[in-house]
Amino acid sequence: MYRPVLIFCLLAVSLVNAKVFFEERFSDGDAWESRWVQSKHSGKEFGAFKLSAGKFYGDAEASKGIQTPEDARFYGLSTKFEPFSNEEKPLVIQFSVKHEQNIDCGGGYLKVFDCSLDQKDMHGDSPYLIMFGPDICGPGTKRVHVIFSYKGQNHLIKKEIRCKDDVFSHLYTLIVNPDNTYEVKIDNEKVESGELEADWDFLPPKEIKDPDAKKPEDWDDRATIPDPDDTKPEDWDQPEHIADPDATKPEDWDDEMDGEWEPPMIDNPEYKGEWKPKPIDNPDFKGAWIHPMIENPEYSPDSSLYLRKEICAVGLDLWQVKSGTIFDNFLITNDIEEAKKIGEETWGAIKDAEKKMKDEQDEEERKKAEAEAKTAGDADEDDDEDEDDDDLDIDMGDDSEPDHDEL
């Protein structure tokens, strides 16, 4: 009889614990400028973000985010929120990125900070907790960065996660679980997952090679050896090159003038190269020697690799050669399902219409280009006809009698 009540209580506790710590959709016009702080770090030429839905979009208002408008600029922008810890709870970081400029080199990632961040002086060396998102530079770099700070050092993921490299909006999601596992999603679909300890070098290896172990001197790791009973054939040794037997001395050869004639050298068809005894299986072969492993005295497990005790700010610290990227739909929560739902309500609601608008624009551009090409072709034909008429006039002028001033 009490089971429905118990289930209800558990659901209620779950709902109470689920929380959105930060969300930004840029849906209130220019009010975002009062919430975000532009970095003024000296020595860098910063670009200023602007609110824009871009050249094509799914919804004129809902698609608005902050865009990088200037080429070859650094961008530094951050915002703070009420501090929290992800202790014993999932941490979900999510945002959308749209490289509508078909970016050639530049970052599209965010950074998560603790409360010590000096927002007006934020720069590339400002300590951060997590860096996550796409990074593109040429054909060689198209990856999703997942970088964690651990004991003062930044650690890159050891796996290669490919990011999207087209011009449309994409949703990036990082989930860090309290059991020290993680998951990366793109467009609400899992693209990578695993264990924090296995996929980052946070900790020393559990085992190391035994420093006292050495390969025995009599250890034979040769799979084959030269046959000791094999002997070189008596006719083996032949010169590599011989005089061409078919060559003849030219009739006009003068020994006194040209010196003594010698036939040219050619490859010797009987030459067999250096002789080596044939290989046979080594009767003393013991296999490849494997260095014994021992427990690493410096290794110590850490059940709190996932933990970030104070999460307080999120920022964009970027360099872009070609501007135009739009960032939107920032979300930090401990509710994985809620993040998925919000992703569908935001990015998911505009993605199809965005692509449709872009396709229509491309079609219009194609038709325009065809019309311009046709117009240019017609103009060339008209010019050719005019030139033909001019040539005809010149020819007719040549047939007329020239003027004679002396008459």
Residue-level pLDDT at 387: 63
Residue-level pLDDT at 392: 54
What amino acid is encoded at 69 in this protein? P
Burial class (CB in 10 A: 0-12, 13-18, 19+), 264: exposed
* Cβ contact 329:94 at 8 Å: yes
* Host H or E run for residue 358: helix 347-399
- Maximum distance among all alpha carbons in the chain? 136
Which comes out higher in pLDDT, residue 212 or 402? 212
pLDDT tens for 372-391 read 888 887 776 766 666 666 65
Residue-level pLDDT at 254: 86
* Cβ contact 227:280 at 8 Å: yes
pLDDT tens for 102-134 read 999 999 999 999 999 999 999 999 999 999 999
Cα distance between residue 298 and residue 136, in whole Å: 37
Tell me the backbone φ, ψ of residue 395, rounded to 5 degrees. Answer: -65, -45
Mean pLDDT of the chain: 90
* Cβ contact 169:326 at 8 Å: yes
State the pTM of this model. 0.78
**Cβ neighbours for 42, distance < 8 A, ≥ 6 positions apart:** none
Mean pLDDT computed over 168-172:
98
